[in-house]
Every structure is written in structure tokens, then in C-alpha cells.
Amino acid sequence: MTTPHLSSNRLLIISILIAFGTALTGGRCLGQTDDRITPGTAGRNLPAPPAAESSFTLAILPDRTTGRSWGLPYLRQAVTDLNVIGPDAVTTVGDQVQGYTRSMEHWQTEAQEFLGIVGKLEAPYYPLPGNHDVISGFRDPSDHQFESAYQSTFGPLYYSVNLDHVTLIGVYTDEALQSQPQLSDTQIQWIEDQITKGTERGKPLVLVMHKPAWRYRRAKWDVIHGRLSDAVRAGVPVIVIAGHFHSMQRDPDRDGVQYHLLGTCGANIDQHPLAGQLHHITLLKVTESGKTRLWHHPIGCTLPDDFVLEADQSRVFRLRNEGDDFEFVNVLDQPYHAPTRGTIQLKVNNPIDRPITIETKLAHGRPKPMLVEGYGFYSMTPIDTFNQYCMETETPFEIETDVEAITLAPGEAATLDIALRCPAQSEVLPPPQLDLTMWFSDSYERRVPVVIHKRVPLRTHYVLGASHRLEMSASAWEFSVYDELERDPDVGLSAIDGRMNIALAVYDDIPCFEETEDVRDRIRNPESDALLITFGSPEDGDDSDSDANDGDGLTYLIEPMGPADAAWQVVSGGANGRDLELRDASEDVTWTCVRTDTGYGLVIQVPLYLLGRPGQTLPFNIEIADNDDKYHTQWRSWAPKDSGSEIVLPASF
């Protein structure tokens, strides 16, 4: 299907009509009829605002018992999370204290510890007993002292509450004060009565208990389930929730009745969350119309609106946009056909108003998730942002001695000495990667890590020969979020028949060309794929030949997807000599480009007599720009800038 051609006059008329129509509708788009929406510009109609419906959110705390104090921080964090989430009420499936003690004093200490924590909840809390809360350490099922203590300290053993949009029924599953849950006939009758009242009320029924009584024949749950299924048939949703097993799971629904078991909130677990074992809170939202939605929320994953303050984010921004604060002072030699051993020096400076501690390591192996210290989650950012083509984690380089962490006061500077070694390699290597983690204490006294990646600059000394082998690569020497997920271009350099040959295999999924109007942008920030080839001044120049490299260096621009055979020499011009100009160099520099399934192949030839005299050494680099029809352009280069990388011209030509 082809798009009809619109004349400029017709387009103008359409634009006027759109503007006129917008004015007539008081700022609303044509067709936008809802007077609750006032668009500022023309555009597609927005959805109508939804009808408001009130809702009620009930939070449920799972088991807390562990016997160890490490469980309490989870409970404290759960309370913090809930105060951010803001449920209307909070209940529990029981096991609030470790219990199973013979000491009432010890039991009371645990009870007050628990109540002191949940007492900070901003919503009303409805407790419920579990076996740890009531069973005596004397192993005597007739010993009711802790059951009585529970009633006077926490509340009734079972109860019901008419909450907005919800009827909450708390079931007591430890009446026998032993392992098997049993419900007395008295309690069963009471539960049936509450189900009847709740059904007449017409609000969803939520039954909460410690042990999953529906799984135990002696609990006589079938009697209660029959009444619950009656409620479902009467149009009342029913949800039954228990704990005890420390493993989250959803049992199959029965006759429309939902059955859920919760995990833990500080209780003892020893398996992976996908095995159902995790610290969490459970939330149940019930709307005025009776719709229910239950979900689980890992503890520590609810963040308040002031989780990160502006002052701390400014410190992070200053560190991660390091600029001159983290710079290599020197370079190392490529281990090309010879081993390399030396010390790379990294200048570091603390640019923020807090002390920072810097940890340095050579990247090896795949990245791992980052633990968010003090919270219950990991960040997958290192894995998500990993680029296997630009982030070198399989380097043969090794650190000879571990780099000790260094702490810098605000404004303090230092130099890190990092001893590296690498055996001889048959090919030129991409840069090894150093990962710097800078820790500082934020406004909440949390340890905040800021990670930056530095790629070690390597100097290449390459003698031009007759080999056409693509034994080198063009790498991304500076880390960028715009690094493409594509292999480094392969590079081969040779000299034959008086010409230097530059052979490239460029892996590029979207080869493109768009001529950039500004010359400086066309050279340094092109809107198309491009190559910059730079030959620095020879060691002692060559004044005898006016066509040769005159000591100021030569830079050529080639746009492989642009006009065929076009090559440009970049020269300084303008009144101040600082402007850049492009001079046609197609008679001297020739090239051939072949498109492939993976990108393109390119062979460039430059006369050797333009570069210098036979046997001379001169700085050299080739930079490859990849645009992919995007706003941003990525550069990869044969050598890092200012590394002193060089080529040696043939002894004769």
C-alpha cells in the first residue's frame, strides 16, 4: 500500500483545521468529549477517568518464630513497609513469640518484644495465637497457663471483626495444645454462626488461622467448609489463610473457596524463595463491590518517598560522572607476541563532602546481582547492563598483588598502583577492565556503593608487513551506556606494493549514512557510520616531499555507507586556524566496501609515501563510528587516545 502524496497547500489547510478545531473545543482534541480532561495540545484521545470505588486493604503477617534474634529485623522492616503501604488493618496467622518455654517471665519478655514492634503499626493490629504462643514447655497439654497469658496479653483466642468490606474471622487451631490441630465443637458452632452472620452481611469472608485445619481430618474442617461453600453459592467471596509450614503455597480452590498458606516474617527458613520460603507480608484488597485481590510482598521491597535524598543523589552523580577525578596516569604495552608486566597508575580524587572508600578489582567472570544492604532485595543491574562485547571479563591479564582499599577524605587525592601481568598473546587484546567501587555513608548512615568501570589503556607497537591477517580489533576504550551489543570490529594492517592496507570486518546490524551538515560534528559526532584514520607526525618529519606527512599528522574521514570512493582529509582552516575543513582526498586514499549479513567489510589503501620515510615509526589510530540510525553514535578504536600506539613503516617502499 502506498501513501498518497499531499501537496504543501493541503498540508497547510489540514494544520489550520486542526488548530481551529482545538480552539473551538476549548483546548480539547477533536473527539475528546469528557469535560474532565483538558489537553494542552492536539493528540489522540485520553481514556476517561475511572469511576471511583472505595476499597479496604487487609495486611497479614506470617510466622515470626525462629528462636534466634535475626528474625526480629524482618518483623521491624515489615512494620516499616506496612506504614508506607498504609493498609486499613493488620492481622496475623500466629506464632508471634518463640514460646515453648517453662518460664512465664521469658514468655512475657518475648511477648513484650513483639508487641513493642507491632505497636508501631499505624493501622489497628488483630493478633491470633499459634502453637508457639500457647503451648507450654512442660509438655503437658493440660497446662493452660500460657494460653491464659496470651489472652491477657494479646487478646481472645478466636474472634470475628466486621471491617469495611470484609468480615474477618480468627480461628484458633491449637485448642488441644498439641501438634495436631483440633477444633472444639464449641468453636466449630461459633464459626458456623459467624459464617452465617457474615453471609447475611454480604461482605467477603476472610478466615485466618495458624495451622491449615483443612489439611487435618481430626479438625473436622469439612463441616466448616460446607458452610463456606454455601456462602460462595450465595455470592459471598471466601478466602481462608493459614501459616505454620513456613512455606508459601496456594492450595487448590474447593467449591470456590480459596485456600492459602503463607511463608514467614522472620521465622526460620532454609530454602530458596521459589521453594516458597521467603520473608514477606501478604496483602488483601477488597473493593466495595466485593472484588478481592490477594498478593505477597517481599519484606524490604517497599521504599518510602525519601528513600534517596537529593543531597545523596548529588554525591552519587558527582562520583559516577568522574571526569578528571579518576584518570590513568600511564599506559601498559599490549602483550602482542611478548609478555607484559607493569604497574598501571590510576589517579583518584574524592570530589564529594563525605569520605569515600575505594575498592579496586580486575573484572573476571560474569557479573553478579548487587545486594541492597539493609533491605530484602537484590539489584540485577550488573547483569542487565553487562555487555559481553565491550566489558572484558575473560582477560588473560592478572593482578599480581591485591589492591588494598583506600579511604580518601573530602577533597583528598591519591594514586593507586595496580601491578598487572599478562603472558604473550598471538593477537592484540581488548582492554582489561578495572571495577572501582566507591563507598560513602549517606544521610541515613547507609553504606552506598558507586561503581565505575575503567578500561586499562594499552599501547600497541605494530610493524607493517605483508600479512592480511585480521589479528587486531577496535575496542571501546571508554565505558558508555550507549555501547552497542555487537562484536568489536576486526582489524588487519599490512603494507604491499607501496600502499598501507587497512582491512576491517565491521559487525553492524544497521549500516547507515546521513550527511552531517556541521563539519566538526561530521568528524566527531556523525549521524552515520564513519571512520577516522589518523597518522601522527613521524619521529623526525620529512620536509623533502611536500605531498608527504608534514609533521602535523594526517587525518582521513571515510563514510563507508556514503558516496562511493569519497575520502576526505581533515584540515584546519578559518581565520583562527581552529575551524575544521574537509578536503577531497579520493585520489590518494581509495577504499572498497562490501556489505555482509553481519555488517560490512572494508579495505582502505593509503600510499606509504604520504605517511613518512621507509622504516619510520609514527603514531597511528583508526576510529570506527557506529550510528545505527540513532541519536547517539558509538566509537571503537584500534588504540586508546594519547596511548602512544604506533606503526612502523616498511624498511623500503
Cell of 586: 579520493
Radius of gyration of the chain from Cα atoms? 36
Kindly state the helix (H) or strand (E) to which residue 519 belongs, with its residue range.
Answer: helix 519-524
Q: How many CB atoms lie within 10 A of CB 326?
A: 19
The Cα–Cα gap between 516 and 527 comes to 6
Write out the H or E segment, with its range, that includes residue 76: helix 72-85
Rounded Cα gap, residues 437 and 579, in angstroms? 41
CATH number of 461-648: 2.60.40.1190
pLDDT tens digit sequence for 485-498:
999 999 999 999 99
First to last CA, the chain: 59
Tell which residue, 178, 177, 183, has the closest CA to residue 220.
183
Mean pLDDT across 361-387: 88
Length of the chain: 653
Residue 514 reports pLDDT greater than 50: yes
Q: Does 543 or 469 have the greater pLDDT score?
A: 469
401-423: pLDDT as tens digits: 999 999 999 999 999 999 999 99
Task: Confirm if 444 and 355 have CB atoms less than 8 A apart.
Answer: no
Q: Give tens-digit pLDDT for 183-234.
A: 999 999 999 999 999 999 999 999 999 999 999 999 999 999 999 999 999 9
Between 29 and 256, the more confident residue is 256
Q: What is the pLDDT of residue 409?
A: 98
pLDDT at 538: 61
Q: Which residue from 130, 67, 71, 95 is spatially nearest to 279, judged by alpha carbons?
A: 71
pLDDT of residue 419: 97
pLDDT at 8: 46
Q: Which fold has domain 310-458?
A: Immunoglobulin-like (2.60.40)
For 128-144, how does the pLDDT look when each residue is reduced to its tens digit (9 = 90+)? 999 999 999 999 999 99
Kindly give the interhelix angle for 72-85 and 104-118, rounded to the nearest 10 degrees.
Answer: 30
Domain ranges of the chain: 63-298, 310-458, 461-648
User: Quick one: which H or E segment has residue 196?
Assistant: helix 185-201
- CA 403 to chain CA centroid, Å, is 27
The correct answer on CATH 3.60.21.10 for the domain covering 63-298 is yes
Q: Which 3-state string (H, E, C) describes 143-209?
A: CCHHHHHHHHHCCCCCEEEEECCEEEEECCCECCCCCCCECCHHHHHHHHHHHHHHHHHCCCEEEEC
15-33 tens-digit pLDDT = 434 444 444 444 444 567 7
Among 263-267, 321-325, 464-468, 566-570, whose mean pLDDT is lowest? Answer: 321-325
Question: Residue 195: in which H helix or E strand, if any?
Answer: helix 185-201
Per-residue model confidence (pLDDT) at position 118: 98
Residue 642 has pLDDT above 50, yes or no: yes
The per-residue pLDDT for range 416-462, each reduced to its tens digit, is 999 999 999 999 999 999 999 999 999 999 999 999 999 999 999 99
Bridge partners (DSSP) listed for residue 398: 421
The H or E element spanning position 11 is helix 8-24
Cα→Cα distances 485→226, 388, 390, 427, Å: 60, 8, 8, 22
Does the pLDDT of residue 88 top 80, yes or no? yes
Q: What is the DSSP letter of 648?
A: E
Mean pLDDT of 66-91: 93
Query: Shortest CA distance to 651 belongs to which of 607, 611, 613?
Result: 613
Mean pLDDT, the chain, whole residue set? 91
Give CA 123 to chain center in angstroms.
33
Strand partners, 417: 345
Express the helix, strand and coil content of the chain in percent, nearest 5 each.
Answer: 20, 30, 50
**Count of beta carbons in the 10 Å neighbourhood of residue 158:** 20
pLDDT of residue 192: 98
pLDDT on residue 33: 78
Angle CA 344–347–349, to nearest 5: 155
Q: Examine domains 310-458 and 461-648 and report if their fold is the same.
A: yes
d(CA 330, CA 336): 18
Summarize pLDDT for 153-176 with one digit per residue, the tens: 999 999 999 999 999 999 999 999
pLDDT at 375: 81
